[in-house]
Amino acid sequence: MRRLLIALSVLVFGSNARGANDDIVFAAKNFFEIGDVSVGISGTLVGDDLAYKNNTHGIMCLRERKECYVSSVEQIGDKQVGRIDYVSIYPITKWSPTEVTAAEELGDFGCSRTTITIMRKTQTAIWVEEPINQATAPCQKSYGKVRKFTIEDSPGWKRIFGKK
């Protein structure tokens, strides 16, 4: 009887024991570049202070257009995926053989600024959100710390294929 109760507990509470919703398996990290025309990366945004740790982001940068395009989707509950985000556009501030950097333009509105850097040689990406306009009334109670994230394999992908 005790074994039956333990087995039922694992079935009922097993998804919560993982600590985060990751029953939906998003694809592994992917990197691509087409010469000096476009660079892209997709995968899970990983780091502290994320509302939804099981997510997938796609970032594509086009040199000629001088823009990076970002879209994402997140797991928002057990077996539940949120709406695909509308595409965000970030102006490219640096394009070199080793990296592509795009950043939101500084403005009078908004309480943070996002900068995305794709390292071409290592095929990795860093996503940084830094506070801005902190002295303005709307931003006085905002999260006033720098937040850093990376693009990696999804939690489910790591679990299935034994990567850490």
Amino acid at 148: K
Give the whole-angstrom CA distance, residue 95 versus residue 63.
7
Domain ranges of the chain: 20-161
Give the whole-angstrom CA distance, residue 32 versus residue 45.
17
State pTM to two decimals. Answer: 0.82
DSSP 19: S
Which pLDDT does position 100 carry in this prediction? 98
Strands (E) across the chain are located at 30-34, 38-46, 55-62, 67-77, 80-81, 88-95, 99-103, 112-119, 124-131, 147-152
pLDDT per residue rounded down to tens, the chain (164 residues): 333 333 323 333 343 434 456 689 999 999 999 999 999 999 999 999 899 999 999 999 999 999 999 999 999 999 999 999 999 999 999 999 999 999 998 877 788 999 999 999 999 999 999 998 888 888 888 888 999 999 999 988 888 887 65
Topology given in CATH for the domain delimited by 20-161: Porin (2.40.160)
